[in-house]
Amino acid sequence: MSDAEPQPDFAHAHVGIVHATAMEVNPFLERCERVRKYTGGDLVFRGGLLGDIRVALAQSGMGPKAARLATQALIDGHSPAWIVSAGFSGALQSGMKIGDIVVGDSIVDVEGTQVSIDLKMPANPAAGLHVGRLLTVDRMVRTIAEKQELAQQHAAIAVDMESLAVAQVCREAKTKFLAVRVISDDLSVDLPKEILSVVGTAGTARWGAVAGAIFKRLGSVQDLWRLREQAQGAAERLATFLDGVVVQLHGAEAPS
């Protein structure tokens, strides 16, 4: 009999996570062991162990269409019991701060399509935890005015570009679903116009493009680097929350 340490089953995952960019989940991956990475077409997959919990992550790139493809591929390849749509989101309500966590109890798009989530989690705004409706759109929402208009139209507390698509695929596949987002931009200032050219739709932040912004507006460079620092801090907060969420979801599936 071989004394070699048994290898974990990376083919099947207890919990799957769909995210748009690497920055959103890098701090969470640092908490995992035996992390492996592979690519399939335009998608990037990573898998690892959080304790003894097998976690598989699909990096989709930005937008509903990409998220839908990544979610289906994650289900087909790793058959997780749970899938979490995780990543950055924009605040639609005043009082929400960068780094606050948002958990969706329903998700809607601008056409009124909605998915409700059976969620029994109390909000704790004082501690930076918000529970409510998420809005999914197909583009980056940059200005305070537009965020306020979307909040009024759709009664949502935060906006992202992927969660509804992930939820719809999970519902069709009868896979349990949760949306966990972190606020990366609040209602204090508009995002700079240059953010649209710096953040790639494939899920990679093209920070080298900042050099081009220098010749447009010096202040934009400072804005972009401030946003990068804020995003990194938000990703750290998301990692801490996801750590607990993954443990709880796995525990809910374990035999009593």
pLDDT of residue 252: 81
Q: Is residue 212 part of a domain?
A: no
CA-CA-CA-CA torsion sign (190, 162, 150, 103) = negative
pLDDT of residue 219: 59
Instruction: Report the alpha-carbon distance of residue 185 to residue 90 in Å, rounded.
Output: 5
What is the number of domains present in the chain? 1
Instruction: Report the alpha-carbon distance of residue 57 to residue 242 in Å, rounded.
Output: 12
Q: Is residue 184 part of a domain?
A: yes
Q: Is residue 8 part of a domain?
A: no
Instruction: Report the alpha-carbon distance of residue 20 to residue 160 in Å, rounded.
Output: 10
- pTM listed for this prediction: 0.88
Question: Which DSSP category does 127 fall into?
Answer: G
Tell me if 210 sits within 8 A of 116, measured CB to CB.
Answer: no
pLDDT of residue 230: 86
Q: Is residue 72 part of a domain?
A: yes
Q: Is residue 154 part of a domain?
A: yes
Q: Is residue 1 part of a domain?
A: no
Q: Is residue 74 part of a domain?
A: yes
Q: For the chain (length 256 residues), average pLDDT per consecutive 10? A: 52 93 94 92 91 96 94 96 96 95 97 93 95 95 95 96 98 97 93 64 50 53 76 94 96 65
> Cα–Cα distances in Å, from 130 out to 68, 127, 182?
25, 9, 10
For residue 158, the enclosing domain spans 15-189+232-253
Q: Which residue has the tokens 């987002």?
A: 181
Instruction: Report the alpha-carbon distance of residue 250 to residue 8 in Å, rounded.
Output: 16
Tell me if 101 sits within 8 A of 129, measured CB to CB.
Answer: yes
pLDDT of residue 256: 43
Q: Return the CATH number at 113.
A: 3.40.50.1580
